[in-house]
């Protein structure tokens, strides 16, 4: 009984982590699902947002200004990837990798060459929105839930506008969009900037939640984001086409991912295996639907042939 209670006690912290990464996954959803672009910039831009926020807060800047600057910094990172892809003709996945590599140096410059910038709870607890304190966990969850809800509401409105529809059309059918006179290159660049801006905003919140910005905090972010999207799609029935509900499912997918992650940590899996676990979760959610589709479709066809 005590074991179960102890496990339940870890879930609020996992929910807080899930909401931050859910916001990051929502940003990734824009490129991965809407634009149909494989963008690896996020591993660097989430750290950029964290670094900008942490450095500005430690220098006495208001937290809202610091978070806005983190958002802008992430959008600039997305712009670089977009320009490399559209102007120089570099494949999107390679453009993201190049930007990610550049951001490693940029992030170190932002943090004045330090690998870690601490936002200690005792010193900066009254200057940030959320902290890592266990006593503030429910307040943190509420604030993060508001951030996620408002972000989804703004994106729901934006993608319902005429310009937002051009972004969706670009991802659905690139050639047809060009034939209709849509500037698909501009749509891609804007979508990449918007996506990485949201990812950087998640990074700013993550820095506050963890109490520091670290140069390595973005490693594996793409895997966690993809896991949240895939789990979210599994949660959301195919009949549900409402964009708002789909984004909510992505955020829910991130929470479930961190529940599983926290449970594995709780039962004592060695920490060095956690990255492998993340990769295996994504591989399973990507591969199982394909195997199910190919295996069962062949089985049904075989049965149909016998009856015929």
pLDDT tens over the chain, length 308 residues:
666 766 666 677 788 889 999 999 999 999 999 998 889 999 999 999 999 999 999 998 999 999 999 999 999 999 999 999 999 999 999 999 999 999 999 999 999 999 999 887 767 777 888 887 777 888 889 999 999 999 999 999 999 999 999 999 999 888 888 888 889 999 999 999 999 999 999 999 999 998 899 998 888 888 889 888 888 887 777 666 788 889 999 999 999 888 887 877 777 777 677 777 777 777 777 777 677 777 766 655 566 555 55
Domain membership of residue 123 (yes or no) is: yes
Quote the radius of gyration of the chain (alpha carbons, Å). 20
Residue 206 contacts residue 217 (beta carbons within 8 Å): yes
In whole angstroms, what separates CA 134 from the centre of its chain? 24
In whole angstroms, what separates CA 50 from the centre of its chain? 14
Domain membership of residue 246 (yes or no) is: no
Number of CB atoms found within 10 A of residue 201's CB: 28
Domain membership of residue 288 (yes or no) is: no
Domain membership of residue 38 (yes or no) is: yes
Number of domains composing the chain: 1
**DSSP structure class, residue 213:** E
Range of the domain at 124: 13-217
Q: Regarding beta strands 116-118 and 212-214, do their DSSP bridges make them parallel or antiparallel, or are they unpaired?
A: antiparallel
Query: pTM for this structure?
Result: 0.90
Collapsing DSSP to helix, strand or coil, 88 comes out as coil
Collapsing DSSP to helix, strand or coil, 214 comes out as strand
Domain membership of residue 307 (yes or no) is: no
Domain membership of residue 267 (yes or no) is: no
- Shortest CA distance to 41 belongs to which of 105, 114, 92? 92
Residue 261 contacts residue 274 (beta carbons within 8 Å): yes
Domain membership of residue 277 (yes or no) is: no
Domain membership of residue 172 (yes or no) is: yes
């Amino acid at each position: 009984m005590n074991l179960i209670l102890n496990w339940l006690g870890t879930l609020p912290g996992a929910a807080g982590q899930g909401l931050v990464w859910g916001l990051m996954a929502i940003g990734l959803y824009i490129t991965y699902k809407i634009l149909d672009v494989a963008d690896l910039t996020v591993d660097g831009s989430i750290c950029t947002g964290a670094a900008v926020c942490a450095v500005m807060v430690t220098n006495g800047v208001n937290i809202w200004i610091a978070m806005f600057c983190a958002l802008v910094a992430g959008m600039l990172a997305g712009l670089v990837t977009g320009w490399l892809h559209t102007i120089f003709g570099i494949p999107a996945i390679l453009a993201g990798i190049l930007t990610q590599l550049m951001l490693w140096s940029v992030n170190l410059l932002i943090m004045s060459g330090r690998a870690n910038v601490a936002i200690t709870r005792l010193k900066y607890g009254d200057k940030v929105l959320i902290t890592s304190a266990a006593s503030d966990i429910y307040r943190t969850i509420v604030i993060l839930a508001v951030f996620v809800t408002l972000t989804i509401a703004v994106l729901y409105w934006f993608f319902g506008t005429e310009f937002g529809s051009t972004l969706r059309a670009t991802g659905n059918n690139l050639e047809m969009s060009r034939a209709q006179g849509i500037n698909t290159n501009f749509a891609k660049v804007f979508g990449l900037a918007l996506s990485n801006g949201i990812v950087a905003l998640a990074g700013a919140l993550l820095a506050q939640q963890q109490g520091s910005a670290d140069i390595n905090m973005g490693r594996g972010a793409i895997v966690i984001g993809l896991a949240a999207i895939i789990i979210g799609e599994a949660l959301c029935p195919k009949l549900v086409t409402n964009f708002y509900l789909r984004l909510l499912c992505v955020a829910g997918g991130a929470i479930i991912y961190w529940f599983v992650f926290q449970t594995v940590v709780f039962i004592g899996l060695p920490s060095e295996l956690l990255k492998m676990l993340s990769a295996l979760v994504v591989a399973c959610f990507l591969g199982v639907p394909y195997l199910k589709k190919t295996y069962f479709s062949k089985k049904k066809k075989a049965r149909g042939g016998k009856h015929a």
